[in-house]
Amino acid sequence: MAGIHFVVDSTSRVPAAMLAAHDNIHVVSLKIIYGREEYPETALDAAAVFRLSGEHHQHPRTSQPSPGDFMAVLEPLAAAGQSVIVLTLAGGLSGTFQGAQAVTRQLAGANIYVVDSQSVAGGMVSLLQAGLTLAENNLEAGAIAVRLRQMAEKSQAIFMAGTLQYLHKGGRIGGAAALVGSILQIKPLLYLGRDGRVGVLDKVRTQGRALARLADELNRYSGLEFISVAHIGMEEEAQAMKALLGERFPGAAVTLEELGPVLATHLGPKVLGIIYREQ
């Protein structure tokens, strides 16, 4: 694969089979923090976040990988003369992208390219797979990074959160908005914008309407090359959404995934989203 290595952060949730098949994929973990207790995201799943919240009697914080975490992976690869592409979650959601860039600047002369996926989870994995394919076709790392950035520009994500309370706990919305939303039983629909920041797409009063609204949002696209139905604690609804979108977009491979602990910390226990990329 032209000596190219790929480094991704743990929010990507790269499937175990994919990691086993490619020894040139490396994962750097974000962290879940309860007071003085710190857990690597790779050691937990979404359900564990809520279980540990009960045990610790507090809502956790999340933290990006430390410079040392990145250096532990990148420095040996750079010393060995390897070309490296670092792929991170959307820069507007975390300082992970900026942190990877800072470490790369310390490794002067190394052939390392940092790419903001402008996405999360399956969106990152899709870009990783594209990068692996391009490497197999003997493209050099700089050209692959350019291509992945172009693909990232076309990536989007929309989500339904079951409650506004977790967004409030994570500092994403104010307490008054969370209280009113809970009283009115509002299902907030969120989008991950092209600037990598979260915005409000719509506010719907019932879960059924919210899910229908999510699916209808994709109708404005003439073609999609990638769709992932992502969820936390909503597998049945996610399966139904996957089947629906598979019928609507027969030209796109529709996948199903469960989101990880970092996103669960900020979104809560009942989430369904669609991560996709335009052709």
Q: 253-258 and 224-232 as β-strands: parallel, antiparallel, unpaired?
A: parallel
Q: What's the mean pLDDT in 8-17?
A: 97
User: How far apart, in whole angstroms, are the C-alpha atoms of residue 259 and residue 230?
Assistant: 6
Q: Give the per-residue pLDDT at 178.
A: 40
User: How far apart, in whole angstroms, are the C-alpha atoms of residue 112 and residue 133?
Assistant: 18
What is the rounded average pLDDT for all residues in the chain? 89
Q: How confident is the model at residue 233 (pLDDT cuts 50, 70, 90)?
A: very high
Architecture of domain 155-278: 2-Layer Sandwich (3.30)
Count the residues in the chain: 279
Q: Scanning the structure block, which residue is given the tokens 């694969």?
A: 1
Task: Please give the model's pTM, rounded to 2 decimal places.
Answer: 0.91
Q: How many Cα neighbours within 13 Å face the side chain of 233?
A: 18
H or E element in which residue 105 lies: helix 96-106
DSSP states along 212-278: HHHHHHGGG-S-EEEEEEEEES-HHHHHHHHHHHHHH-TTSEEEEEE--HHHHHHH-S-EEEEEEEE
Q: Give the per-residue pLDDT at 196.
A: 65
For the chain, the structural domain boundaries read: 4-30+65-152, 155-278
225 close to 194: Cβ distance less than 8 angstroms? no
Q: How many Cβ atoms sit within 10 Å of the Cβ of residue 211?
A: 22
Superfamily of domain 4-30+65-152: Dihydroxyacetone kinase; domain 1 (3.40.50.10440)
Q: Give the per-residue pLDDT at 266.
A: 87
- State percent of the chain over pLDDT 70: 90
Query: 161 vs 16, 119, 186, 203, 269, CA distance in Å?
Result: 27, 17, 9, 10, 8
Position with higher pLDDT, 74 vs 109:
74
158 close to 176: Cβ distance less than 8 angstroms? no
71 close to 103: Cβ distance less than 8 angstroms? yes
